[in-house]
Every structure is written in C-alpha cells, then in structure tokens.
Amino acid sequence: MDERIKVVVDDAIPFIEGVLEPYADVVYKGGRDICREDLLDAAALVIRTRTRCDAALLDGTAVKFIATATIGTDHIDHDYCDKRGIVVRNAAGCNAGGVMNYVFSALYGVASRRSIRLDGSKLGIVGVGNVGSRVDRVAGNLGFKVLKNDPPRMAAEGPEGFCPLEYLLHNSQIVTMHVPLDETTFRMCDDAFFDNMRPGAIFINASRGEVVDDSALKRAVPKLGPVIIDTWNNEPDIDLELMNMVDIATPHIAGYSYQGKQNGTAASVRALARFFGFDKLYEFFPKTEIESLEAVKLDLKGKKQGEITSALQYNYPIFTDDFMFRMDPAGFERLRSHYQYRREFYID
C-alpha cells in the first residue's frame, strides 16, 4: 500500500512504539481518552479493553480496521462494525499462559495461607477455550481431577469430557472462571450458582468481572473457602467492600506476563499489516531484550504441595500484587498501566 494512513494506538500497548511509523502516521493516546475527533481521518485503531468501539466513537470516521491486543472483544460493538464494513481482529490466546500462571500461583498461595490440602481435589473449569485449556492441561499434570463445562464446545464436539454446570459446582473443591463475556455469561455467577457450590470451595474469577453478580458473591463469601478476584464489575470503580472480603484481589493483571504482552502486540501488528499490505511486518514479533524475563520451565512432577507452592511463589509472588492493590485501590488504572510484566513459567 503506497498511501500513508493514520493509525490511532492506545499508548499503554507495549512494544509497539516505532513499529508502525515507517508505514503510517501514528497517534498515541490513552485508551479511555480516544475520541471520535481523533478518528475522523484515521484508517485504523489499535486498542485494549478500555476503548469502547461503537457508533458514538466511530460514526462519521474513516476507520475501517480495528485491532484489539486482547483476547476479549466485548468492548467492541460487532453488529455495528459488521454493518459499517469495519474489520475487527483480536489476539486470541495471547495471555493464556499468564492467566494460567496467575491461577496456580493464587491457588497454591491461598491454600498455603489457609492450610488447605489440595491433593486429590477436583478442579472445575468453567469455559475451556485458550485459557481454560491451558489450566486444564497443567491441572492434570499437577494431579488434580478436572471437571469441565463449556456448552459451545460440548454442542460442537459432543458431551464426552464435559459436564453440566450444576454437576461441576456440586463436585468441585475449586471453581475457576474462564468464559468470554456475552449474553449467556453475563451475571452467570448469581445466587443459584453459588448455592450450588460446595461449602468451603475455592472460587477464582480471572475472566470478566461482569460474569459475577457482586451482591450474590458477597452473600456467598461466608459459605465459600478462599475467593480470588482479578476482574471486577465497573472497573476501575470497583466494589471496595467486596475487595476487602476476598483473599486475593488484583487489578485485572492476570494476563500481564511479558510473553502475553509480546503475543498481544504481535497479533495486532500482524493483523494490521496483512490488512493494509505492510509485508515487512507480516511476521513481526517484539524482541525479548531482558534475559531475566525469558520464560522458564518448571519441573514439578512428584513434588509435594509445599514445594510446588514455593516454586510458584518464587516465579510469581502474587501476594505482592494483592498488597499493592489493597494499598491503593483508587490507583487501579495506574497499577495496570505501570505494571512490571512478569515472565511466564511452563509446567509439564
């Protein structure tokens, strides 16, 4: 493509500054600050979840391509974009490793603090897409008995390997949420959901805040075991009462690994490059310039729970994130935008 285009980019997306400039006029702005006037002559938009892409933002603009450096796309009005012919691309699976790391660091961390034995526990995964599948694989390697609920996959693949949600909730000592946000999952974690969970069961939400009814969760906390929340309703103005009731509270950073951010930016740049014909960027991937952030493999086979806990906390000391958030919950967005990306670990 010979004609230069204008691209508006969320300035919190890492590794992207300077990449598109040889091919486009690039404007960087905070995701919440991007407005219609910025897009009147812009052909493309590269965002995260903080930019709501709908008629109010896009009507009358030149935008024909949107890339979101996230797995979720519920911040984009797909019906509107389809009608306008705006192509939308996401970064499916980009943060799966980081979220998997979060789940197991948090799980073993709270189990250690609350003196909970995890041996032989049933771990229920609600939503078995890219993230849920990673959690499934690692849980099996660590000796958990895994129950899985995913209605779309069960409809497409058959019932083998999946179970109804009610059965999963009745039989799992740990329930971890990895569903996308849509009309079928909005507020799915309601009073009936928590009533079906076992007393003392651990609850983890690192999917979307809106899948949980906050009031129902607060009513359920006395019955449940440890509760771990990374994603919240009304971010960044979250329910502080709920935050003070849970065992681990973090500001939507479960997927904030160094590798996850590389993957997300690479997916967005590659998609934009292919759409506009920037052939030199078709295989773009940010370089890892910090050796200490290279992903590391953990061999946890045959290890006792205490040894596993120590290894996980060494590689991701999750209670530091919890502490920093509790010290400054009003700094939700600042903590996210200035987060020190952690390296991922792999577990065989």
List the domain boundaries for the chain. 5-90, 96-255+300-347
Active-site residue flag, 208:
yes
Place 211 in a pLDDT band, splitting at 50, 70 and 90. Answer: very high
| pLDDT tens string 63-88 | 999 999 998 899 999 999 999 999 99
Question: Does the pLDDT of residue 341 top 80, yes or no?
Answer: yes
Predicted local distance difference test score (pLDDT) of residue 72: 85
**What gap in Å lies between CA 69 and CA 66, rounded to an integer?**
10
Instruction: Please state, rounded to an integer, the average pLDDT across all residues of the chain.
Output: 96
Question: Does the pLDDT of residue 333 top 90, yes or no?
Answer: yes
Question: Does the pLDDT of residue 335 top 60, yes or no?
Answer: yes
pTM: 0.89
Q: Three-state SS for 166?
A: helix
Least confident of 47-61, 203-217, 278-292, 311-325: 278-292
Q: Residues of the chain with pLDDT > 70: what percent?
A: 99
Are the C-beta atoms of 183 and 152 separated by less than 8 Å? no
Predicted local distance difference test score (pLDDT) of residue 16: 96
Token digits of residue 248: 């681990």
Which CATH number fits the domain 96-255+300-347, given the four candidates 3.10.20.30, 3.30.390.30, 2.60.260.20, 3.40.50.720?
3.40.50.720
Predicted local distance difference test score (pLDDT) of residue 2: 55
List the end-to-end C-alpha distance of the chain, in Å, as a whole number: 44
Predicted local distance difference test score (pLDDT) of residue 1: 47
Predicted local distance difference test score (pLDDT) of residue 71: 87
Place 227 in a pLDDT band, splitting at 50, 70 and 90. Answer: very high
Pairing of strands 65-68, 145-149: unpaired
Predicted local distance difference test score (pLDDT) of residue 288: 78
Active-site residue flag, 235:
yes
Same fold across 5-90 and 96-255+300-347: yes
Q: Which of the residues 36, 235, 326, 333 is marked catalytic?
A: 235
**Strand ranges, E, within 90-190:** 122-126, 145-149, 174-177
Question: Does the pLDDT of residue 209 top 70, yes or no?
Answer: yes
| pLDDT tens string 125-141 | 999 999 999 999 999 99
Pairing of strands 122-126, 145-149: parallel
CATH architecture of 5-90: 3-Layer(aba) Sandwich (3.40)
Question: Does the pLDDT of residue 348 top 80, yes or no?
Answer: no
**Strand ranges, E, within the chain:** 5-10, 24-29, 44-47, 65-68, 87-89, 122-126, 145-149, 174-177, 202-205, 227-229, 248-249, 296-298, 345-347
Q: Mean of the pLDDT values across residues 28-50?
A: 96
Are the C-beta atoms of 124 and 176 separated by less than 8 Å? yes
Q: Which of the residues 48, 178, 198, 252 is marked catalytic?
A: 252
Q: Which of the residues 50, 178, 208, 270 is marked catalytic?
A: 208
